[in-house]
């Protein structure tokens, strides 16, 4: 199906996890626009809208879903007869029931855009088709429906709903790490949309874009903490900014076999991520890393820090503080373990 090229404008609220409040933000924007005099209707909402979102929903006109023998879907024809300026569409990834004019709700949205109706929609990251492999690696789950990334890339505006999600059973540190990774992917997805808008603007005005290396990311690995999350994050950011990824370690003498295996595993993770592997030497970690970083034009340094450190671990709090205080002009990101 061709990308919609109509006059309707598309705004998408992107959530990185269930419960961050994307439906409320979408409905609340519709309410505010209606108060400013725009003609706004609700074309589709989640089956169970509760709390603040339900309160806002009561203040908006709703086009009821079309009920069929096979289920329910957005009543596109009723929306076209109503001809609002803006239609709010929640649950962008829903499938339409059998026999509908279009198989998927996102295709209904494309059709409304071609008919000159602007749409404000919401979707969660796990439903973006091109991101589903990444999300599954992080969460172990895969959403049954999907929305093509191109719909987001054609949007006129995208907003990441960056709010703490509702508690999900108290799964602790593992869940917090998952949410951190999902949030990062969502922010990078939004940045891709902004990049595409800029490229379109430059092309429309005959301006040639010159893209050089925007970021050089240095992931510092040690024998003491797993570096998988840091390396994956570094790879995502390097790809996003058309940058370089380096993985560095400081050579140490006579590591115990278990620590050597951990270091070797971290370096193998770096190679799998197509990073440049760098061995450094120095009197301590800080004095080895910083001169190299400045010499190579590094822009971001990723560090792992264990809350259960020992006296012999390189990232004692004093070393971490010294790295941050001396890394003037560099972004230092700490990954707790």
CATH number of the domain where residue 293 is located: 3.40.50.620
The reply to whether 97 and 195 lie within a common domain is yes
**Residue range 193-231, pLDDT digits in tens:** 877 777 676 777 777 655 555 789 999 998 888 898 899
3 within a domain of the structure (yes/no): no
In a domain, 5, yes or no: no
Residue 103 lies in a domain: yes
Q: Does 64 reside within a domain?
A: yes
Domain end marker among 184, 204, 224 = 204
Do both 198 and 63 map to the same domain? yes
| pLDDT of 312 strictly over 50 | no
pLDDT tens profile 117-163: 999 999 999 999 999 998 998 899 999 999 999 999 889 999 999 87
> 146 and 243: one domain?
no
pLDDT in tens, 179-198: 888 998 898 888 878 777 77
Same domain, 60 and 117: yes
**Domain end call among 204, 234, 267:** 204
Kindly state whether residues 34 and 88 are assigned to the same domain: yes
Same domain, 182 and 255: no
Of 145, 172, 204, which closes a domain?
Answer: 204
Tell me the residue range of the domain where 32 lies: 10-204
Whether residues 110 and 235 fall in one domain = no
**HEC-encoded secondary structure of the chain:** CCCCCCCCCEEEEEECCCCCCHHHHHHHHHHHHHHCCCCEEEEECCCCCCHHHHHHHCCCCECCCEEECCEEECCHHHHHHHCCCEEEECCCCCECCCCCCCCEHHHHHHHHHHCCCEEEEEEEHHHEHHHHHHHHHHHCCCCCCCECHHHHHCCCEEEEECCCCCCCCCCHHHHHHHHHHHHHHHHHHHHHHHHHHHHHHHHHCCCCCCCCCCCEEEEECCCCCCCHHHHHHHHHHHHHCCCEEEEEEECCCCCCHHHHHHHHHHHHHHHHCCCEEEEECCCCHHHHHHHHHHHCCCCEEEEEECCCCCCCCCCCHHHHHHHHHHCCCCEEEEEEC
Of the candidates 116, 106, 117, which has an alpha carbon nearest to the alpha carbon of residue 153?
Answer: 106
The reply to whether 268 and 186 lie within a common domain is no
List pLDDT tens digits, range 67-125: 887 788 999 999 999 999 999 999 999 999 998 999 999 999 999 999 999 999 999 99
Would you say residue 250 lies in a domain? yes
The verdict on residue 4 lying in a domain is no
Question: Quick check: is 161 in a domain?
Answer: yes
Mean of the per-residue pLDDT values for the chain? 85
Same domain, 70 and 172: yes
Same domain, yes or no: 196 and 294: no
Whether 125 is in a domain gets the answer yes
On whether both 314 and 244 belong to a single domain, the answer is: yes
d(CA 301, CA 280): 15
pTM over 0.75: no
Tally the domains of the chain.
2
CATH of the domain at 148: 3.40.50.300
- What is the distance between the alpha carbons of residues 15 and 163, in angstroms, rounded to a whole number? 9
More confident residue, 312 or 63: 63
**15 and 87, same structural domain?**
yes
Residue 166: the pLDDT is 52
């Amino acid at each position: 199906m061709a990308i919609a090229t109509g006059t309707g404008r598309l705004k998408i609220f992107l959530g990185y996890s269930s419960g961050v409040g994307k439906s409320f933000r979408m409905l609340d924007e519709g309410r505010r626009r209606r108060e400013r005099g725009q003609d706004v209707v609700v074309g589709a909402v989640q089956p169970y809208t509760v709390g603040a979102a339900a309160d806002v929903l009561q203040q908006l006109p709703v086009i009821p879903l079309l009920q069929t023998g096979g289920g329910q879907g957005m009543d596109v024809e009723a929306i076209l007869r109503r001809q609002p300026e803006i239609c709010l569409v929640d649950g962008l990834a829903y499938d339409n029931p059998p026999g509908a004019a279009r198989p998927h709700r996102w295709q209904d949205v494309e059709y409304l855009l071609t008919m000159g109706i602007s749409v404000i929609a919401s979707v969660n990251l796990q439903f973006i088709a091109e991101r589903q492999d990444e999300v599954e690696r992080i969460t172990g789950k895969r959403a049954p429906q999907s929305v093509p990334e191109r719909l987001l890339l054609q949007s006129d505006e995208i907003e990441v709903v960056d709010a703490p999600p509702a508690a999900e059973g108290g799964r602790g540190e593992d869940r917090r790490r998952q949410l951190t990774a999902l949030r990062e992917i969502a922010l990078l997805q939004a940045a891709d949309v902004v990049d595409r808008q800029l490229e379109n603007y430059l092309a429309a005005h005959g301006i040639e874009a010159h893209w050089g290396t925007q970021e050089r990311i240095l992931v510092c690995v040690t024998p003491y903490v797993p570096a998988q999350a840091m390396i994956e994050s570094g790879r995502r950011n390097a790809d996003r900014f058309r940058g370089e990824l380096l993985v560095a370690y400081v050579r140490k003498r006579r590591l115990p076999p278990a620590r050597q295996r951990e270091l070797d595993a971290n370096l193998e993770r770096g190679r799998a991520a197509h990073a440049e592997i760098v061995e450094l030497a120095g009197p301590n970690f800080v004095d080895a890393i910083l001169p190299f970083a400045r010499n190579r034009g590094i822009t971001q340094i990723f560090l792992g820090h264990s809350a259960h450190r020992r006296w012999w671990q390189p990232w004692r709090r004093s070393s971490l503080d010294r790295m941050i205080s001396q890394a003037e002009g560099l972004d230092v990101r700490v990954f707790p373990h």
